[in-house]
Amino acid sequence: MASSSPKTVTLEQFKEHTQRKNLYVLLSGKVYDVSKFIDEHPGGDEVLLAQAGQDATDSFEDVGHSDEAREFLPDFYVGDIDEAAVGVLKKEVKAAAQSLQTAIDPGSNFTFLIPVALLGAYFAWRYYSASA
Ligand code: HEM
Protein backbone atom coordinates (compact mmCIF):
# COMPACT_ATOMS: atom_id res chain seq x y z
CA MET A 1 0.00 0.00 0.00
CA ALA A 2 1.23 3.46 -0.89
CA SER A 3 0.54 4.99 2.49
CA SER A 4 3.02 7.86 2.53
CA SER A 5 1.77 11.18 1.09
CA PRO A 6 -0.53 10.05 -1.69
CA LYS A 7 -0.58 11.98 -4.93
CA THR A 8 -3.35 14.53 -5.34
CA VAL A 9 -5.40 14.37 -8.51
CA THR A 10 -6.85 17.71 -9.58
CA LEU A 11 -10.32 18.07 -11.05
CA GLU A 12 -8.70 18.93 -14.37
CA GLN A 13 -6.60 15.76 -14.38
CA PHE A 14 -9.61 13.69 -13.36
CA LYS A 15 -11.72 15.13 -16.17
CA GLU A 16 -8.94 14.37 -18.67
CA HIS A 17 -9.29 10.63 -18.04
CA THR A 18 -12.69 9.80 -19.44
CA GLN A 19 -11.77 7.56 -22.37
CA ARG A 20 -11.74 3.76 -22.43
CA LYS A 21 -7.94 3.72 -22.84
CA ASN A 22 -7.52 6.46 -20.29
CA LEU A 23 -10.17 6.04 -17.64
CA TYR A 24 -10.27 7.16 -14.03
CA VAL A 25 -12.97 6.17 -11.56
CA LEU A 26 -13.57 8.11 -8.34
CA LEU A 27 -14.59 6.10 -5.27
CA SER A 28 -14.78 7.62 -1.78
CA GLY A 29 -12.36 10.43 -2.63
CA LYS A 30 -9.80 8.07 -4.19
CA VAL A 31 -8.99 7.97 -7.88
CA TYR A 32 -8.46 4.64 -9.64
CA ASP A 33 -7.12 4.01 -13.14
CA VAL A 34 -9.34 1.29 -14.59
CA SER A 35 -8.02 1.49 -18.18
CA LYS A 36 -6.42 -1.96 -17.92
CA PHE A 37 -9.35 -3.47 -16.03
CA ILE A 38 -12.26 -2.22 -18.12
CA ASP A 39 -12.28 -5.23 -20.48
CA GLU A 40 -12.24 -7.63 -17.53
CA HIS A 41 -14.86 -5.88 -15.40
CA PRO A 42 -17.62 -8.47 -14.74
CA GLY A 43 -20.16 -5.64 -14.73
CA GLY A 44 -19.15 -4.64 -18.26
CA ASP A 45 -17.40 -1.65 -19.78
CA GLU A 46 -20.47 0.53 -20.28
CA VAL A 47 -21.10 1.05 -16.56
CA LEU A 48 -17.51 2.15 -15.98
CA LEU A 49 -17.54 4.55 -18.93
CA ALA A 50 -20.84 5.97 -17.69
CA GLN A 51 -19.11 6.97 -14.42
CA ALA A 52 -16.27 8.82 -16.19
CA GLY A 53 -15.66 12.29 -14.79
CA GLN A 54 -18.12 11.73 -11.92
CA ASP A 55 -18.14 10.43 -8.37
CA ALA A 56 -18.89 6.70 -8.78
CA THR A 57 -19.10 5.95 -5.03
CA ASP A 58 -22.88 5.55 -4.82
CA SER A 59 -23.11 3.42 -7.98
CA PHE A 60 -20.26 1.23 -6.77
CA GLU A 61 -21.87 0.71 -3.37
CA ASP A 62 -25.38 0.20 -4.81
CA VAL A 63 -24.09 -2.80 -6.78
CA GLY A 64 -22.88 -4.33 -3.52
CA HIS A 65 -19.40 -5.18 -4.78
CA SER A 66 -17.77 -8.13 -3.05
CA ASP A 67 -14.61 -8.07 -0.93
CA GLU A 68 -12.79 -9.62 -3.91
CA ALA A 69 -13.83 -6.64 -6.02
CA ARG A 70 -12.52 -4.26 -3.34
CA GLU A 71 -9.21 -6.13 -3.25
CA PHE A 72 -8.57 -5.01 -6.83
CA LEU A 73 -8.68 -1.36 -5.83
CA PRO A 74 -5.13 -0.86 -4.44
CA ASP A 75 -3.70 -2.08 -7.77
CA PHE A 76 -5.51 0.70 -9.63
CA TYR A 77 -5.00 3.46 -7.08
CA VAL A 78 -3.63 6.71 -8.53
CA GLY A 79 -4.13 9.20 -5.70
CA ASP A 80 -6.65 11.23 -3.74
CA ILE A 81 -8.92 13.69 -5.46
CA ASP A 82 -8.30 17.37 -4.77
CA GLU A 83 -10.56 18.60 -1.94
CA ALA A 84 -11.85 21.45 -4.12
CA ALA A 85 -12.91 18.96 -6.79
CA VAL A 86 -15.19 17.09 -4.39
CA GLY A 87 -17.40 20.16 -3.96
CA VAL A 88 -17.57 20.78 -7.71
CA LEU A 89 -18.47 17.16 -8.46
CA LYS A 90 -21.16 17.14 -5.75
CA LYS A 91 -22.69 20.31 -7.21
CA GLU A 92 -22.73 18.71 -10.65
CA VAL A 93 -24.61 15.70 -9.29
CA LYS A 94 -27.08 17.96 -7.49
CA ALA A 95 -27.70 20.04 -10.61
CA ALA A 96 -28.24 16.88 -12.68
CA ALA A 97 -30.66 15.49 -10.10
CA GLN A 98 -32.59 18.75 -10.02
CA SER A 99 -33.00 18.96 -13.78
CA LEU A 100 -34.09 15.32 -13.79
CA GLN A 101 -36.67 16.11 -11.10
CA THR A 102 -38.09 18.97 -13.19
CA ALA A 103 -38.12 16.75 -16.27
CA ILE A 104 -40.07 13.93 -14.63
CA ASP A 105 -42.39 16.12 -12.58
CA PRO A 106 -43.39 19.21 -14.57
CA GLY A 107 -46.87 19.14 -12.98
CA SER A 108 -45.50 20.33 -9.65
CA ASN A 109 -44.96 23.78 -11.19
CA PHE A 110 -48.71 24.19 -11.57
CA THR A 111 -49.90 23.13 -8.12
CA PHE A 112 -50.48 26.80 -7.24
CA LEU A 113 -53.41 26.71 -9.68
CA ILE A 114 -55.41 24.33 -7.48
CA PRO A 115 -56.70 26.95 -4.95
CA VAL A 116 -57.32 29.41 -7.81
CA ALA A 117 -59.41 26.79 -9.60
CA LEU A 118 -61.36 26.00 -6.42
CA LEU A 119 -62.11 29.69 -5.87
CA GLY A 120 -63.27 30.01 -9.48
CA ALA A 121 -65.52 26.98 -9.06
CA TYR A 122 -67.02 28.49 -5.89
CA PHE A 123 -67.88 31.78 -7.61
CA ALA A 124 -69.28 29.95 -10.63
CA TRP A 125 -71.49 27.93 -8.27
CA ARG A 126 -72.66 31.15 -6.49
CA TYR A 127 -73.39 32.80 -9.79
CA TYR A 128 -75.46 29.88 -11.03
CA SER A 129 -77.36 29.34 -7.77
CA ALA A 130 -78.18 33.08 -7.51
CA SER A 131 -79.54 33.28 -11.04
CA ALA A 132 -81.62 30.07 -10.71
C1 HEM B 1 -12.34 0.04 -9.80
C2 HEM B 1 -13.62 -0.12 -9.64
C3 HEM B 1 -14.35 -1.44 -9.78
C4 HEM B 1 -13.92 -2.72 -9.58
C5 HEM B 1 -12.55 -3.19 -9.16
C6 HEM B 1 -15.06 -3.59 -9.87
C7 HEM B 1 -15.03 -4.95 -9.79
C8 HEM B 1 -16.11 -5.78 -9.98
C9 HEM B 1 -16.13 -7.19 -9.74
C10 HEM B 1 -14.93 -8.04 -9.27
C11 HEM B 1 -17.38 -7.64 -10.01
C12 HEM B 1 -17.91 -9.08 -9.86
C13 HEM B 1 -18.87 -9.16 -8.70
C14 HEM B 1 -18.21 -8.86 -7.38
O15 HEM B 1 -17.18 -9.46 -7.07
O16 HEM B 1 -18.72 -7.98 -6.66
C17 HEM B 1 -18.15 -6.48 -10.46
C18 HEM B 1 -19.47 -6.54 -10.85
C19 HEM B 1 -20.21 -5.43 -11.24
N20 HEM B 1 -19.81 -4.12 -11.20
FE21 HEM B 1 -17.97 -3.47 -10.73
N22 HEM B 1 -16.13 -2.81 -10.23
C23 HEM B 1 -15.74 -1.50 -10.19
C24 HEM B 1 -16.51 -0.39 -10.44
C25 HEM B 1 -17.82 -0.42 -10.80
C26 HEM B 1 -18.63 0.75 -11.00
C27 HEM B 1 -18.17 2.20 -10.85
C28 HEM B 1 -19.87 0.33 -11.35
C29 HEM B 1 -20.99 1.26 -11.65
C30 HEM B 1 -22.25 0.98 -11.66
C31 HEM B 1 -19.85 -1.13 -11.37
C32 HEM B 1 -20.89 -1.97 -11.68
C33 HEM B 1 -20.86 -3.34 -11.62
C34 HEM B 1 -21.99 -4.18 -11.97
C35 HEM B 1 -23.33 -3.70 -12.50
C36 HEM B 1 -21.58 -5.49 -11.74
C37 HEM B 1 -22.37 -6.75 -12.01
C38 HEM B 1 -23.09 -7.23 -10.79
C39 HEM B 1 -23.81 -8.53 -11.10
O40 HEM B 1 -24.05 -8.84 -12.28
O41 HEM B 1 -24.08 -9.24 -10.14
N42 HEM B 1 -18.58 -1.54 -11.01
N43 HEM B 1 -17.37 -5.38 -10.41
Cβ < 6 Å from ligand 1: which residues?
Answer: 25, 32, 34, 41-43, 47-48, 51, 56, 59-60, 63, 65-66, 68-69, 72-73, 76
For residue 99, the CA-to-ligand 1 centroid distance in Å is 28
Architecture of the domain delimited by 8-109:
Roll (3.10)
Closest by Cα among 74, 92, 77 to 26: 77
The tens digit of pLDDT for each residue in 66-113 reads 999 999 999 999 999 998 888 888 888 888 888 887 777 766 667 778
Q: Where are the domains of the chain?
A: 8-109
Summarize the confidence of residues 6-34 as an average pLDDT. 95
Where do the DSSP E strands lie in the chain? 8-9, 18-19, 22-27, 30-33, 77-81
**CA of 47 relative to ligand 1 center, distance in Å:** 9
pLDDT at 14 over 80: yes
Q: What is the pLDDT of residue 23?
A: 98
User: What pLDDT was estimated at residue 107?
Assistant: 63
